[in-house]
Amino acid sequence: MTATADTQPLPEGGWSEEIRYLSDATVLPPTESGFVQAAGILDRDGTYCAHGALWRKFRPLTTEPEPPEGPVGRLTGRWLWGGVLWAHFGHFLVESTSRLWALAHLEKPVDGILFIPKRPRSGEKMHGFQTGFIELMAPGLQTRVAAEPTQVDELVVPGQGFGLGKITAGTERFRAAIHARFACDIAPDGPEKIYLSRSALGLGKGGLLGEEYMEDLLRAEGYEIFHPQHHDLATQIARYKAARQVIAADGSAVHLYAMVGRADQSVAMIMRRQSRFTNLLAENVQHFCETTPTVISALRTEWVRKSKGKSNRLSFGELDHAIIGAALARNGFIREGTVWPALTEEDRQQIFVDKGLNRSGDFVESPYFVRQRMRAARQARRAG
């Protein structure tokens, strides 16, 4: 069955690799913040252009908006539909770039790329990493954010070629466009071994308990500890291109690496939470770089916000360094036979103090890991 724009975008093709050309289309930004929002494109006759919707996994996050009341502003010229502009770095990389593959397939040049904001309060604001990425993909091409209803002379609407879900693999056209156009002039610059760290992000971003200790162990193996958020995109990309061995805490930086990584590089990802998101990251790397990353699940437990009670991007995974070291040694990332000691109970308690987790009381141990430990204890009693 042929995929249509009322089904999720697929990496095999279908509507995710098709382009629609609209005249006098009206672009409608969201009026309220929310996970799912009424926003998108109405054609000249008022019909909804489902081709411009943002999908995540099995459902669209933008749905048919109501027609505007009264006159709307006008944008002259020919514009490429960029879709939803995310302020979150990772979601920007995966979901706000998903239409840019069409730059390699335009019948005629466009005057710029047109987005709508994810959050109405963001208005027309663009962050440096957003404009920086687009400059590396389409040098000199202007960008606009439609914060109010806007009618556009000509609107080029590509399908969603990338995103979260099955489309994380990216369509062939999307991957080809990224490889052919993105950051091609940035030369490799940096060490052969690099660790992409989250340790400097702070308590509000989630992370890995015991990451700093692991970084000391990796330094002894010749790895540079790299904090991506402290560097511009060009520096990040230069580092990623230069490294022959890349170890990363799972997170947004891996999406950027996947866009410039190669098959001759070795990649290991260390999970920081129990989530299918890590599998999507691995699929992203596998399909874009044509190499299978080593995924290391070595959580002693996970600490989650009490109000949520389950794993999310703000959770803290507590690392089992012995398991990580064995996996890295087995896969050639550190010296064969290297043994990493597990943290002592005193070390663990000090980490909680250092992170401030003992003061806030906002974090509790994940019920999933509590159940796992109780199940293991019961099995051990039966075996005894």
Contact 51, 195 (CB under 8 A): no
Across residues 109-138, what is the average pLDDT?
A: 97
pLDDT tier for residue 279 given thresholds of 50, 70 and 90: confident
Question: How is 282-327 classified by DSSP, letter by letter?
Answer: HHHHHHHHSSPPEEE--EEEEEEETTT-S--TT-EEEE-HHHHHHH
For residues 271 and 150, give the distance between their C-alpha atoms in angstroms, rounded to a whole number: 43
pLDDT in tens, 177-219: 999 999 999 999 999 999 999 988 866 666 788 889 999 999 9
Report the DSSP pairing between strands 224-226 and 207-209: unpaired
65-99 as b/e: b if 16+ CB within 10 A: beeeeeebeebeebbbbbbbbbbebbbbbbbbbbb
Evaluate if residue 369 carries a pLDDT over 70: no
Evaluate if residue 342 carries a pLDDT over 90: no
For the stretch 209-213, contacts whose Cβ atoms lie closer than 8 Å and that sit 24 or more positions apart, written own/partner, are: 209/303, 209/316, 209/317, 209/318, 209/319, 209/348, 209/351, 209/352, 209/355, 209/357, 210/318, 210/319, 210/321, 210/343, 210/347, 210/348, 210/351, 211/249, 211/319, 213/321, 213/343, 213/347, 213/351
Q: Please report the pLDDT score of residue 206 as a whole number.
A: 65
Across residues 9-31, what is the average pLDDT?
A: 97
296 versus 315: which is more confidently predicted? 296
In what helix (H) or strand (E) does residue 21 lie, and over which residues does it extend? strand 19-28
Question: Across the chain, what does the average pLDDT equal?
Answer: 90
pLDDT in tens, 133-159: 999 999 999 999 999 999 999 999 999
384 versus 6: which is more confidently predicted? 6
**Poorest-pLDDT segment among 236-240, 295-299, 300-304:** 300-304
End-to-end CA, the chain: 56
- Percent of the chain residues past pLDDT 70, beyond the cut: 89
Q: Please report the pLDDT score of residue 160 as a whole number.
A: 98
- Percent of the chain residues past pLDDT 90, beyond the cut: 72
